[in-house]
Structure 1
């Protein structure tokens, strides 16, 4: 059996998809990559320590509104992260389109 060979660009795109938070199992099924290969690529590129989260901005208002403000800030932060993730996924999908068209045409 012949061993599959992947380009560096393809590997980078797959790692970007992984960085968006998509599960490894789904990535492997979608792109036809083994979990071992994907884990090896991730370990070669990614540092072992995790990236720290952005700090939450607090305001100095009265104590009654403080809890409500904190929840609003957390929700805004969560929505911003989700928006960034969606934008990144869209960009990755745009880059991956040429690869998916090549792999899905078997006729």
Structure 2
């Protein structure tokens, strides 16, 4: 069984329809998308409370970038110690 792939515009449209009052059941029947998938899209594309409009996906990307930058800083600190000895 092959998984269906949906583009981001389609996902956003479904979520907007849900927010405008269309039930998940109606969206499921009309667009042939599982209810669980629709609920996942709603969760992923809804802003986090107190997050200034950031979605959970945005926050995850920011955390990933923050970790990468912290690792770079740690490497530079170690290099600075090595070069300071010379």
User: Per the shorter chain, which TM-score range?
Assistant: 0.5 to 0.7
The runs of 5 or more residues in structure 1 that have no matched partner are 50-107
Structure of larger gyration radius? 2
Q: Which has the higher contact order (CA 8 A, sep 6+)?
A: 1
Q: Distance in 1 between matches of 2:8 and 2:48?
A: 21
Question: Counterpart of 2:44?
Answer: 44
RMSD: 1.2
- Residues 38-81 of structure 1, C-alpha deviation per residue, up to 9 Å, x if partnerless? 010000011355xxxxxxxxxxxxxxxxxxxxxxxxxxxxxxxx
- Runs of 4+ that moved beyond 6 A: none
Structure 1 residue 21 displacement after superposition: 0.9
- Using the size of structure 2 for normalisation, the TM-score is 0.53
The runs of 5 or more residues in structure 2 that have no matched partner are 50-86
Query: When the two structures are aligned, how many residues end up with a matched partner?
Result: 49
